[in-house]
Structure 1
């Protein structure tokens, strides 16, 4: 069989390109050597944002594009993406007050019309925002959005599959070469396939994939590790904190999974994609970053979990990792059947990247654009208002309870109605493995979301492994292995 397009890499960029191409009628195959969002795309700070700090490096185009995409994503996935207030304390800040105020005003306007509340100064009546801080001084409040990064990646793949794309996880591209006017490729399961064009969206492995398919590149990738720690909740409320550090970096403290606070991220140059993993120094750095501002002090002993991802940044020659651009570069090799390689990018701009990737390939292949994803909802996002939809869920399935109904409505959106069709009691959802995770949800992940291991379910698609005991996780793993 000959595909129009084979995409290597099941991270946010690869899945977004698969969606864009499939919606436009191409016959698409996506291969991922591990799970969807198994690496960088599930190791972000979970934000859909313009990147306020990028203004400091004059990356105005990137910020404008990201803010415009933030608006689109809010409408396309209102169940998965939600607005969040960010408090930016100004005590001990290394940037002058006027500079931050000017930057926030610019941030409010550079993206055009926005639906989120504009920035403002902290006021004395902001008790919820001020209470957790060690010093109740000056500061600012602005708006951005939170997202479940792994599930957003998954929704891109689901929409692609609904339009005919073939998604193959646990399948690597072993080799590919140009022959007879197409790409002849071999997969790790022994299959041999042909494709008219190939996309290298392998993320941190983009350079290795270029070597595997024998394509020369002018661009280089810089690998930078970003680590996060999770600690018991440090403050009440659903707002977050943006904390300026003496080294001019920014560290976020964000409510996470109801009972925890997520703190990140670091910027550590690494030599290999396999070098993901938090170091002792990074844990100490993140604890100190939070302790400079928040009243509840922490040490590495308070860390309940952590994660690290290697970001494949486009190497623009910046002297420091924190200054390297977060913009993306697409490089087309058209010496025969086209090969398009993706360098850099961020979750917020993945849809725009995919749109540009399709248009670049379309120009080389004389493909026609038949549809746009600009105003297209993601699976589950076909709703006008999330709060009203949540009310409907709680009326229709009252046995879910408040916490579980919120979690499941956010994770699945209107697809929840399909999952729970005919279910009239908690018992009908099957065995409860802990933290409200039941058989019906696990089977959905296996049948609809390409989950192949217990870890796929507990750590990426639900994050409930963070709340479950070791015994509960082992019990689920045994059940899962018998199911599979």
Structure 2
């Protein structure tokens, strides 16, 4: 089988590139050795943002690009991406008040803000924003960014790619690939050998290992591995606002509402040597607890942590001395082209700019290989994003049509699946019509959909990535779900 493009890696960059390429009419194959978003892309801070702190390092180009993409992404997937207000309490011992004020003014202006609320001072008129603070006199600012369900964003990019003709293969690794004439010949772990006119290495933290060990290429770009860790604790405050908290070491830590019942706190920046170092240590847990305790009246300790996760970010190594200062912009390194089948390797990048990265990557591959097709994703909706109305109005329609759903579950489902939710629920008139109920609103109907349409192949794919309901289900509920899932898979294998 000969493809126009073989993509290695099922994180956000690989999925976005496969989507863009398939939409241009390229015969595309994506292979991922584990599950979609099973590593870095499901271990993010769940933000679509410009990165206000990057202004301090004069990353104006990156911030401007990311803020413009924030608008694009918000329009493309208004069900899984939505605006959120961020409260930025001032700490004069870290940065002067005037610096923060000017930085947030620039943040509002350089991205061409159109739809989100602008920055304003945190004053006495904002009791709901000030109430969590241990010091009620705290000054600061309130600005806007966006929240995203990161793992679902990856799955929806892959789903759109498949809808446009791409083949998505999870649990399939690239073993090796060599150039043979004007094609790449790639050996896959499922026993196949395929050919491709172009190849993209979007393996994230493994990009250098794939480039050198499996492709035999030696590029000039290098990767810098940095671990970012998060903790999840019981909800620390009321309201749907997030907080950006300056630390004595000049880092910032976010505290955000999560799944309605928790507060998500992160992230750290720890230099690591290997992609497998995505394991949070006790020092990081204590650091994040101290980070919020400096500001909030409700104090937490490591004993309050319900869950935690860590991901290793593959940043482009720009030579910065401190991992906090390493650029979050991406670098695309091209090897070959014209008479030699091209290889494009992806270094760095942010989840916010994945669509722009994919467009850039496909444009370069088109130039290097003379593949046809024009950019198209900027104005396109992701699956479920074509609501036609505002999300709140859409949710009201879902609530009116499926009255047996409680409001909390209806909101979760509408957020996860958007306009495709009626395809899942169909003509159901009661919870019983959705099959077995495992807990936290997760039903057999939803599980079957995820298996059939979103490459869910293990219980963890559903509990911790597609739905994140593992946080809300107790051990007995998870065991019952696992038994159902494994029995379903066994029955399909037997058939």
* TM surpasses 0.5: yes
Q: TM-score if structure 1 supplies the norm length?
A: 0.99
Q: CA deviation at 1:93?
A: 4.5
Q: CA deviation at 1:447?
A: 0.2
Q: String of CA shifts for 1:361-406, please: whole Å, max 9, x gaps.
A: 0001112233410010000000231111001000000111100000
Secondary structure, aligned partner of 1:258: coil
Secondary structure, aligned partner of 1:88: strand
Aligned to 2:16: 16
Q: Please give the residue correspondences for 1:213-292 in structure 2 after superposition, counting only pairs within 5 Å.
A: 213-292=215-294
**Partners in 1 of 2:130 and 2:284 — Cα distance?**
27
Q: Does 1:188 align with 2:189?
A: yes
Aligned to 2:460: 455
Q: CA deviation at 1:328?
A: 0.1
Q: CA deviation at 1:48?
A: 0.3
Aligned to 2:334: 332
Residues matched between the structures, number: 484
Secondary structure, aligned partner of 1:45: coil
Q: Please give the residue correspondences for 1:34-73 in structure 2 after superposition, counting only pairs within 5 Å.
A: 34-73=34-73
Aligned to 2:97: 97
Deviates more, 1:143-152 or 1:131-140: 131-140
RMSD: 0.8
Is residue 25–residue 370 contact of structure 1 (8 Å, CA) maintained in 2? no
**Partners in 2 of 1:300 and 1:390 — Cα distance?**
37
**Partners in 2 of 1:257 and 1:369 — Cα distance?**
40
Is residue 206–residue 275 contact of structure 2 (8 Å, CA) maintained in 1? yes
Q: Please give the residue correspondences for 1:60-139 in structure 2 after superposition, counting only pairs within 5 Å.
A: 60-91=60-91, 93-136=93-136, 137-139=138-140
Secondary structure, aligned partner of 1:374: helix
**Partners in 2 of 1:15 and 1:395 — Cα distance?**
34
Q: Does 1:417 align with 2:419?
A: no
**Partners in 2 of 1:352 and 1:75 — Cα distance?**
14
Aligned to 2:153: 152
Q: Does 1:359 align with 2:360?
A: no
**Partners in 1 of 2:375 and 2:266 — Cα distance?**
38
Q: String of CA shifts for 1:101-152, please: whole Å, max 9, x gaps.
A: 0000000000114210000110102010000001122110000000000000
Secondary structure, aligned partner of 1:340: strand
Aligned to 1:312: 314
Q: String of CA shifts for 1:233-286, please: whole Å, max 9, x gaps.
A: 000000000000000000000000111000000000111000111100000000
Q: CA deviation at 1:29?
A: 0.1
Aligned to 2:493: none
**Partners in 1 of 2:186 and 2:373 — Cα distance?**
26
Is residue 91–residue 135 contact of structure 1 (8 Å, CA) maintained in 2? no
Structure 1: 5+ residue stretches without partners: none
Is residue 198–residue 338 contact of structure 1 (8 Å, CA) maintained in 2? yes
Q: CA deviation at 1:429?
A: 0.3
**Partners in 1 of 2:181 and 2:370 — Cα distance?**
19
Is residue 88–residue 244 contact of structure 2 (8 Å, CA) maintained in 1? yes
Q: Does 1:483 align with 2:488?
A: yes
Is residue 91–residue 246 contact of structure 2 (8 Å, CA) maintained in 1? no
Q: Does 1:376 align with 2:377?
A: no
> In structure 2, do the counterparts of structure 1 residues 92 and 100 end up closer, same or farther at CA, with 3 Å as the change threshold?
closer
**Partners in 1 of 2:486 and 2:151 — Cα distance?**
23
Aligned to 2:172: 171
Q: CA deviation at 1:224?
A: 0.3
Is residue 93–residue 244 contact of structure 1 (8 Å, CA) maintained in 2? no
Is residue 85–residue 145 contact of structure 2 (8 Å, CA) maintained in 1? yes
Is residue 459–residue 465 contact of structure 1 (8 Å, CA) maintained in 2? yes
> In structure 2, do the counterparts of structure 1 residues 312 and 371 end up closer, same or farther at CA, with 3 Å as the change threshold?
closer
Q: String of CA shifts for 1:72-109, please: whole Å, max 9, x gaps.
A: 11111011101000000114541100000000000000
Equivalent residue in structure 1 for 2:297, among 295, 299, 312: 295
**Partners in 2 of 1:70 and 1:128 — Cα distance?**
26
Q: String of CA shifts for 1:192-211, please: whole Å, max 9, x gaps.
A: 10000100000000011001
Equivalent residue in structure 2 for 1:428, among 433, 437, 443: 433
**Partners in 1 of 2:427 and 2:289 — Cα distance?**
48
Q: String of CA shifts for 1:151-179, please: whole Å, max 9, x gaps.
A: 00111000000000000000000010001
Deviates more, 1:341-350 or 1:130-139: 130-139
